[in-house]
Structure 1
Amino acid sequence: MTFGIRLMTFSLALLLLLHPALPTQANNRNSSIAEALADRLPAEQADLQDFYAARQGRPAWQQPEAVTGFFAALSTVENDGLNAADYRSADLMSTHRQLQAAAGTLEDRVRFELRLSRVLMTVLHHLQRGKVDPQSVDPTWEMPVTIAPLNLPAISQAVDAQRFEQAFAMARPEAAPYQRLRAGLAQYRQLERQGGWPRLPERQHSLRPGDVHKDVALLRKRMLITGELAITDADEPASQTAASSPPETYEYDEHLVDAVRRFQQHHLLEEDGIVGRQTRAAMNVPVTERINQIRVNLERARWTLHGEAEDFVLVDIAGYRISYFRPNGEIWRSRIVVGQPYRRTPSLRSMITHLTINPAWTVPPTIYSEDMLPRIRRDISYLERQNISVLSFSGQWLDPYSVDWWNPGGIMLRQDPGPTNALGQVVLRFPNNHSVYLHDTPSQGLFSRQQRAFSSGCIRVQGVLDLAQMLLEDTGTPAHVDSLIAAGETRNIHLKRPVPVILHYWTVHPGVDGELVFRPDVYQHDASLLKALDRPLAPGK
């Protein structure tokens, strides 16, 4: 028996001496359980040892009301998108009843005590850092899940007070997006209990503002259910003035058009008020699928929403947005273009260390072989138009007309700095294993699209020159982006203080207005995560 365990047993004995009013039989039983726990704990996991150390070795589950209260609280994890059935409360409750009825041996009580504490620690860890290992569903994951230790003394006090939901709250992320996702999950589960929403019939033609059509009544009901359309007198059925004219609710009026635009804004669709194929498909997604979409994003939030720095750059891949949280409290936001589905932008956490001004671009092997080589074979003048040089691997310049482009051998392509350079005028660099970075682009027109997965993995940023200048100023780096660009030289400017950057994939996230925004799962990540989230825990977990 270690000194620490003996000390816990001594502490419990002292506690019992100081409370002589406690029933002697219960005192003796708890003392015996504490001694048995002290013998068993060295073989248990560190978190369980730490929990009982925070309790000075006292058992936690010898009062029947504590056990039943904990079982009742387990159901509340459904509000976090977890499955209460994972924690086998029914089986544990059955064991508890047997112990109550037959008293049970000391070994039975110790085994039950430890089993219930293991469940508590499992729930807390799931709420704090997620149930699923990110790398098990995304082999390219490059973002360590770094989380502060649980406040076990405070959690122990909450257990003694039977405030189990308070203990759970100490574990889950405090970040506002997580709380908003939880609220959204409750809202959509309420919609599910009410029967969800009607499905709009598939039509060959789009429903446009001003149209009069029988589908408008269903559309109006659909927008009312999810809150895009406020209830007004116009939502009540109107009487027909003539047998040949449709009721007023069949007219696709401006109020309903505005509601559809709000729906489109909350589903990353073109905000044109036209109910076409994509908008209709988004409206027809069942409420159950939306619930599961929120659940998997709550899990992603548990992986990432902990302990952010005072200032950091957040790249929202599926939302095609970037946010810079500045030290002065301001938030700079802009649009981005991310990787195509077959050249995905990875999820990672790193530090922006330096900027490259007027960059040259060495064409990556995949882009060279799959994209550029076919173009060069069709028209060798493509190289000159794009200001691309042909080099040997040793860096020697080669005459492009001397290369056999059907069997080019060991060469590489480099695009010189200039207005047509694929990286534009500025690159923001951060260490990672995927060779991705934030950069400018000459293809500004793509930023006007609502869905913007067009790159080869790197992130193109609208207004990146503004972002670069803010990073320089906020880190105390004496440089001016416009002057450096005008000088025409390729230069690396190292920030005096690296700035954290997070690249993450969310298919649901609170929008600027606080409402949930549902994004297309362009990388098809949700299904594998949902399957892992719903996979039952192995026995003993």
Structure 2
Amino acid sequence: MRLFVPILATVVLLVSASISAEEPHDVQTGSLEVEIALLVAEQDAELQDFYAIRDYRPAWAERQRVAAFAEALQTLESDGLDPSDYRANRLVAERRRLHESDAALVELAQFDLETSALLLTALSHLQRGRLDPRQVDPQWEIPVAPARLDLDTISRAVDGQRFEQAFSEARPPYAPYERLRSGLARYRNIQRVGGWPPLPEQPRVLRLEDVDDTVSLLRERLAMEGELEVMAADPSAFPRAELETPDPRRFDALLEEAVKRFQRRHLLEADGIVGPQTRDALNVPVAARIDQIRLNLERARWLLNGLPEAFVLVDIAGYRLSYFRPNGEIWRSRIVVGQPYRRTPSLRSEITHMTVNPTWTVPPTIMREDVLPAIRRDLGYLQRQNMRVLSPSGQRLDPRQINWWSPGNVMIRQDSGPHNALGQVVIRFPNDHLVYLHDTPAQGLFAREQRAFSSGCIRVQGVLEFAQLLLDDTESGQNVQALTASGQTRNVPLASRMPVILHYWTVHPGEDGQLVFRPDIYDRDDDVLRALNRTSVL
């Protein structure tokens, strides 16, 4: 490209001669355009394209424009980003120093390019995230798409000083992201007024009708997050005295309902009793909740942009599946995910088919850690579980003839039926972890608030209804009930593939819009937060 720089500079000089004398600039732009053309040739392609669209006109020659940009950068705090990473507090001073010192054109051009690069970087971070998730999480398997910036629109936004509008258009265009931003602002307001009081550590629990000074602290703590206001919104549910003149030291019915609401928002058993787990959640400092929201805003930026029209979203830490159907409806259900030592991975794939009345071939990890110990204790385990022993070629073997302390290369397969570990339907998508969505005979687990009980695969409540929706929406022409009633094991392809995303959020808006804080079951938050807090070099 360097061979073309002299020609480029000549063209820019000719173009600059036609600029109207009335155009309001603080410096002579003609020579500055030449310097910009020379310097930008050594920069990345995106910055080159940005200035080519502008005919190499400077973007930051006006004091007012730099000041407006610096002010707009401060709003990135609402996204959990640090404005100082983008030199928001230094740009105006840097620009003033250059002009007051009568800096050389090359210095002015360099400032112009650096400031434009800051703008493009900020927009890219809003659109796709500041961090590369592959560097934060070695297990990350969701494709990372590059940011796609409309440079022509951005150039016009610069000229019109519409920076906040440009930021707004770069943000993920989904309601959960905006609710996370609103939640961040709310918790920062709580921090500004001093945060909430911690409850003292004490051996006994707090429950209905207790009278204690700690109950007053509990009432104050829940009021900080608005739990009591929500409960009082239905005055018919509580005695007038509790609503108008509550005894702050008495654990009344209104306070019990507020505790239950808090517990539901933190995926705790909603019993209305303040025991050790609830006390620990209440005593998490507001600063830690702010950090938790910030890092989940970053996770949202990784994912919530350029999503397909219809897709299945598995929220691992939230134990929820959401199917965004082609008709705009959303089907939601509870799920069971992998235990901390058998984690459900984050990945993106496409559902290709489902298996009805499946058999289950025991995976190696479950074979080694669960099934073999059970067989060694009691060989009758195989018969009770409707399991058969097979050779690698599929030939049936006599379990009595096998040394179960050193079984060699054998397979164990569970027959289809009501007690099969996969239930009646398995929904399959290609992935290296061999995980899938499936039914389960252990329906009672769906009643738990925290549901990390599986060996990595995802059990779905109401999976038969979900399977039928997939078949209907992809026009696959099959009836799940008829297929399962046949008793035959059968693979049923979808007529068209359905995208599926497995992702991990520890904060997410609930269906009522309020933030739900989830336990970090896989200990992933700290790595994201540390990376997010590192000073950016821009």
- Structure 1: distance between partners of 2:525 and 2:144: 19
> What residue number does 1:87 align with?
86
Q: Deviations over 1:183-222 (max 9, x none)?
A: 1101100100000111111222221122222222111111
- In the alignment, does 2:472 pair up with 1:473? yes
Contact 1:199 1:284 in 2 (8 A): yes
- Structure 1: distance between partners of 2:477 and 2:517: 41
3-state SS of the aligned residue for 1:422? coil
Residues 24 and 329 of structure 1: CA distance in aligned 2, closer, same or farther (over 3 Å): closer
3-state SS of the aligned residue for 2:227? coil
> What residue number does 1:243 align with?
none
Work out the number of aligned pairs and report it: 529
Tell me the amino acid that sits aligned with residue 469 of structure 2: M
TM-score, scaled relative to structure 2: 0.94
Tell me the amino acid that sits aligned with residue 187 of structure 2: Y
3-state SS of the aligned residue for 1:389? strand
- Structure 1: distance between partners of 2:12 and 2:312: 48
3-state SS of the aligned residue for 1:355? strand
Tell me the amino acid that sits aligned with residue 473 of structure 2: D
How far is the alpha carbon of 1:69 from its aligned partner? 2.0
Contact 1:151 1:170 in 2 (8 A): no
- Structure 2: distance between partners of 1:24 and 1:394: 79
> What residue number does 2:21 align with?
20
Q: Deviations over 1:59-79 (max 9, x none)?
A: 101111222222222222111
How far is the alpha carbon of 1:6 from its aligned partner? 6.2
Residues 72 and 425 of structure 1: CA distance in aligned 2, closer, same or farther (over 3 Å): same
Tell me the amino acid that sits aligned with residue 214 of structure 2: D
How far is the alpha carbon of 1:373 from its aligned partner? 1.0
> What residue number does 1:192 align with?
191
How far is the alpha carbon of 1:54 from its aligned partner? 2.6
3-state SS of the aligned residue for 1:118? helix
- Structure 2: distance between partners of 1:116 and 1:493: 55
3-state SS of the aligned residue for 2:31? helix
> What residue number does 1:221 align with?
220
> What residue number does 2:302 align with?
303
> What residue number does 1:114 align with?
113
Decide which moves more: 383-392 or 36-45. 36-45
- Structure 2: distance between partners of 1:296 and 1:103: 43
Contact 2:13 2:31 in 1 (8 A): no
- Structure 2: distance between partners of 1:149 and 1:289: 33
How far is the alpha carbon of 1:5 from its aligned partner? 10
> What residue number does 2:287 align with?
288
Residues 198 and 236 of structure 1: CA distance in aligned 2, closer, same or farther (over 3 Å): farther
Contact 2:25 2:62 in 1 (8 A): no
Decide which moves more: 146-155 or 385-394. 146-155
> What residue number does 1:393 align with?
392
> What residue number does 2:253 align with?
254
> What residue number does 1:320 align with?
319
Work out the percentage of aligned pairs sharing the same amino acid: 58
TM-score, scaled relative to structure 1: 0.93
Residues 109 and 15 of structure 1: CA distance in aligned 2, closer, same or farther (over 3 Å): closer
- Structure 1: distance between partners of 2:24 and 2:130: 41
- Structure 2: distance between partners of 1:535 and 1:46: 26
How far is the alpha carbon of 1:291 from its aligned partner? 0.1
How far is the alpha carbon of 1:234 from its aligned partner? 6.0
Give RMSD over aligned pairs. 2.2
Decide which moves more: 8-17 or 170-179. 8-17
Residues 254 and 377 of structure 1: CA distance in aligned 2, closer, same or farther (over 3 Å): same
Tell me the amino acid that sits aligned with residue 138 of structure 2: P
Residues 86 and 486 of structure 1: CA distance in aligned 2, closer, same or farther (over 3 Å): same
3-state SS of the aligned residue for 2:248? helix
Residues 503 and 9 of structure 1: CA distance in aligned 2, closer, same or farther (over 3 Å): farther
Contact 2:385 2:414 in 1 (8 A): yes
Residues 12 and 278 of structure 1: CA distance in aligned 2, closer, same or farther (over 3 Å): farther
Residues 465 and 146 of structure 1: CA distance in aligned 2, closer, same or farther (over 3 Å): same
- Structure 2: distance between partners of 1:118 and 1:24: 21
How far is the alpha carbon of 1:85 from its aligned partner? 2.1
Tell me the amino acid that sits aligned with residue 361 of structure 2: T
> What residue number does 2:37 align with?
38
Residues 45 and 234 of structure 1: CA distance in aligned 2, closer, same or farther (over 3 Å): farther
Decide which moves more: 307-316 or 366-375. 307-316
Tell me the amino acid that sits aligned with residue 252 of structure 1: F
Residues 234 and 180 of structure 1: CA distance in aligned 2, closer, same or farther (over 3 Å): farther
How far is the alpha carbon of 1:292 from its aligned partner? 0.2
Contact 2:352 2:429 in 1 (8 A): yes
- Structure 1: distance between partners of 2:146 and 2:247: 56
- Structure 2: distance between partners of 1:344 and 1:395: 29
Tell me the amino acid that sits aligned with residue 21 of structure 2: P
How far is the alpha carbon of 1:50 from its aligned partner? 2.0
For structure 2, which runs of at least 5 residues remain unmatched after alignment?
A: 233-239
- Structure 2: distance between partners of 1:234 and 1:52: 68
- Structure 2: distance between partners of 1:329 and 1:117: 38
- Structure 2: distance between partners of 1:270 and 1:399: 46
- Structure 1: distance between partners of 2:314 and 2:192: 35
1:365-380 matches, within 5 Å, as 365-380=364-379
Tell me the amino acid that sits aligned with residue 515 of structure 1: Q
Tell me the amino acid that sits aligned with residue 369 of structure 1: R
Decide which moves more: 49-58 or 225-234. 225-234
1:93-492 matches, within 5 Å, as 93-146=92-145, 149-230=148-229, 248-492=247-491
Contact 2:351 2:500 in 1 (8 A): yes
> What residue number does 1:242 align with?
none
Contact 1:8 1:53 in 2 (8 A): no
3-state SS of the aligned residue for 1:248? coil
- Structure 2: distance between partners of 1:234 and 1:268: 31
Decide which moves more: 391-400 or 292-301. 391-400
Contact 1:324 1:332 in 2 (8 A): yes
Tell me the amino acid that sits aligned with residue 75 of structure 1: Q
Contact 1:323 1:332 in 2 (8 A): yes
Residues 146 and 425 of structure 1: CA distance in aligned 2, closer, same or farther (over 3 Å): same
Tell me the amino acid that sits aligned with residue 267 of structure 1: H
Decide which moves more: 383-392 or 148-157. 148-157
